[in-house]
C-alpha cells in the first residue's frame, strides 16, 4: 500500500461511518493519551462530556430508523461545526457521543455543552410519511480529569453525571458533583 492510501485507510478505520466522528476505540485511545500525558492543569483540567440522545428508541419507533440516523448525523454535524478542531469528538456507542475538551474550565465546558444542547433542541426533523416534524434533545454529563484518575475513572465520572441528568428529567447538562446546569422544560414538542 502507498503511504497516502494507508493514511486514508487509517482515517476511515478511526471514523464512524454515520456521524463522521471518531469511533469508540479511537476516542478511548485519545482519552488514554490525555491521562497518560498527565497534562491536567488543576485550574483547567481536561474535561470529558458524555452525551446521550434522549428517548432515542422512541424516535426510532415513532419516526423510523432513518429519522434516528438523521438525528445522529445532525448531532455529529453540530459537534463538528461548533467545537474546535483540537477537541476530540467521537461516537461512544449507539446514541451516545463523547467530547474530550482541553483548555476550558469545567464550568465553561458545561456551559458549552448546554449551548449545544439548546441548539439541537431548536432543530426540527422531518417526520415519517407526512407525520409532523419532531425535535430531539440530549442529556450530558461533564467531568474534569482530576489528579490520580485513570481514563476509566474519568469516563465513569462523566457517565455518572450523565445518568444524574437523565434522572433529573433529561434535556439538561450535569457537571460531576453539581446540580444540573440546565433544567429547562420546553413547551415545544420534544420526542418522548
Q: Which residues are catalytic?
A: 95
Q: How many whole angstroms separate alpha carbon 96 and alpha carbon 106? A: 20
Cell (9 digits) for 159: 457517565
| Among candidate residues 153, 155, 175, 154, the one with its CA nearest the CA of residue 164 | 175
| Among candidate residues 47, 8, 52, 4, the one with its CA nearest the CA of residue 170 | 52
* Residue 188 backbone dihedrals phi, psi, to 5 degrees: -80, 160
Residue listed under C-alpha cell 428508541: 57
Q: How many whole angstroms separate alpha carbon 68 and alpha carbon 74? A: 10
Give the helix ranges, DSSP H, for 37-149. 56-63, 65-82, 106-122
DSSP states of 156-175: HHHHHHHHHHHHTTSS-EEE
Amino acid at each position: 500500500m502507498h503511504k497516502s492510501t494507508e493514511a486514508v485507510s487509517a482515517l476511515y478505520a478511526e471514523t464512524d461511518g454515520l456521524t463522521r466522528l471518531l469511533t469508540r476505540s479511537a476516542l478511548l485511545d485519545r482519552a488514554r493519551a490525555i491521562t497518560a500525558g498527565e497534562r491536567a492543569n488543576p485550574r483547567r483540567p481536561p474535561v470529558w462530556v458524555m452525551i446521550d440522545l434522549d428517548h432515542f428508541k422512541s424516535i426510532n419507533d415513532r419516526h423510523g430508523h432513518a429519522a434516528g440516523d438523521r438525528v445522529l448525523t445532525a448531532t455529529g454535524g453540530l459537534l463538528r461545526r461548533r467545537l474546535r478542531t483540537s477537541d476530540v469528538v467521537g461516537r461512544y456507542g449507539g446514541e451516545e457521543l463523547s467530547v474530550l475538551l482541553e483548555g476550558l474550565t469545567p464550568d465553561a465546558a458545561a456551559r458549552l455543552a448546554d449551548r449545544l444542547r439548546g441548539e439541537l433542541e431548536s432543530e426540527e426533523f422531518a417526520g415519517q410519511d407526512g407525520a409532523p416534524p419532531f425535535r430531539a434533545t440530549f442529556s450530558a454529563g461533564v467531568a474534569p480529569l482530576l489528579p490520580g484518575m485513570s481514563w476509566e475513572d474519568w469516563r465513569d465520572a462523566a457517565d455518572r453525571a450523565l445518568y444524574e441528568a437523565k434522572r433529573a428529567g433529561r434535556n439538561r447538562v450535569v457537571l460531576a458533583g453539581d446540580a444540573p446546569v440546565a433544567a429547562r422544560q420546553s413547551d415545544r414538542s420534544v420526542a418522548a
